[in-house]
Amino acid sequence: MDTPSASIEIAIILILIVANGVFALTEMAVVSSRKVRLEKMAEEGNAGSRLALELAEEPTPLLSTIQVGITLIGILTGTFGGATLSRILSEQLKNVPAVAAHSDAISLVVVVSAITYLTLIFGELVPKRIALNNPEPIAAVLAGPMSTFSKLSAPVVDFLSASTNFVMRFLGIKQSAESPVTEDEIRILIEQGTEAGSFEKVEQDMVDKVFRLSDLKAYSLMTPRTKMIWLDLEDSIEYNQRIIFESSHSRFPVATGSLDNFHGIIYSKDLLSDCLEGKPLDLENGLKSPLYIPKSMKAFKVLELFKQTGRHEAIVLDEFGGVVGFITLHDIMEEIIGDMPSVDDEEEEPQIIERQDGSWLVDGLITIEEFKEVFDIDDLPEEERDHFNTLGGFVVSYLGHIPSASENFVWDDLKFEVVDMDRVRVDKVLITRVSPPPEDDSDLD
């Protein structure tokens, strides 16, 4: 065996394996790097991170360059290993009588197996594992040399890139125009952070509710007209005083006769100020012109409107200009951080009562969003078409008429029974889960 020659050949193969590892390390580091962290490193003056960010933004040339390098390395490794080292090993095996007849095949299998093992471990798996552990700094270090190699192999890379784009167009696959960071990605990261202990569960819930807020409309968060506490100018001063004193609200809508003759909003602090000055109760003095919003306005738009105007409440109107509800900043904040019960809230009857038999007694005025969340429902029939806002609205929409007490129907695996009516409004609904009907054995025969 020519020892110097064999040593040189082995050294060349090891160098090629290391080079393969560098390509694999660079590829995984750039692809798995978070662009936000690269941008932060670039802002701190790290030149390599700027280059790595450019490579991450447009990875096709980088991937083509790496593929060219790995392909060349594979060809060279096969040339030296398959032809040279196997020949040297075969000559040695011919001196062993037991395997001399098959020395060529055995030497080829041994050399290929050894090179394959070393390439997989040191040329692929270990470098990629290292890159995943700390991608951004590695990408910043290797981006410069890889960019230089990319320029040297530009003709080949350009040809491969053009070929790739042609095949993509031929297959009808368009380049994704997805935003750099999506809502789902943030949700997944927050969920993983919660599982790892980096975030509290309450923080994850708040982030989920903030994202959910962008899908909600004003009518999902408002206090419906039938539950609004308002002051009527036709009522006596004593009656209105009792309403003000018995409630804990900081503001009251004021109207004449009905909410359709709406005048404005009056604040409790203004009434208290007049009272302390010894002035008689005058609801018309100090009325503030309210904000009017359509019931279809998105919750985020309502929040932005509150920020712009400095107001914390708005009257919600339907498409005909009728008052359908009242929404405040407090309502929006409760949707994000959860219920913030006041003294009065503690005295109110809960909207959902679970009974001992497993059924639920539900208030007809519970919002559709809360109802769907409690019962884990994605969509209700005709929800988009009929635009009902409450459970009572869904019952009326499904039945197609104003129901009477004891009327019931089954939808999905839920049975809805109207327990009580408040004139023409569905007041209480009894909901029971029903089992699917058993299969008829005769049908199976």
* Per-residue model confidence (pLDDT) at position 349: 59
* Per-residue model confidence (pLDDT) at position 50: 81
pLDDT mean over 99-124 = 82
pLDDT tens for 174-227 read 766 555 667 777 888 888 888 888 888 888 888 888 888 878 888 888 888 888
pLDDT band (50, 70, 90) for residue 80: low
* Per-residue model confidence (pLDDT) at position 124: 86
Yes or no: say if 242 and 232 are a contact pair by the CB < 8 Å rule.
no
Rounded Cα distance between 21 and 36, Å, is: 26
Burial class (CB in 10 A: 0-12, 13-18, 19+), 368: buried
Sheet holding 251-256, edge to edge: 231-232, 251-256, 258-267
* Per-residue model confidence (pLDDT) at position 81: 61
Closest to 77 (Cα-Cα) out of 34, 112, 28 = 112
* Per-residue model confidence (pLDDT) at position 416: 93
pLDDT tens for 251-304 read 889 999 888 888 889 888 888 887 777 777 778 777 888 899 998 898 889 999
Pairing of β 425-433 and β 408-411: unpaired
Alpha helices in 79-134 (DSSP H): 86-93, 103-120, 126-133
pLDDT tens for 13-63 read 888 888 888 888 888 888 888 878 888 888 887 778 888 887 777 777 777
* 3-state SS, residue 247: coil
Answer yes or no: is pLDDT of 438 > 60.
no
Q: What dotted CATH number matches 218-341?
A: 3.10.580.10
Alpha helices in 281-326 (DSSP H): 299-309
Q: pTM, whole model, 2 decimals? A: 0.51
Domain ranges of the chain: 3-170, 218-341, 352-433
Could you please state the CATH topology (level 3) that the domain comprising 352-433 is classified under. 3.30.465
pLDDT band (50, 70, 90) for residue 418: very high
Yes or no: say if 389 and 368 are a contact pair by the CB < 8 Å rule.
yes
Yes or no: say if 432 and 358 are a contact pair by the CB < 8 Å rule.
yes
Answer yes or no: is pLDDT of 439 > 60.
no
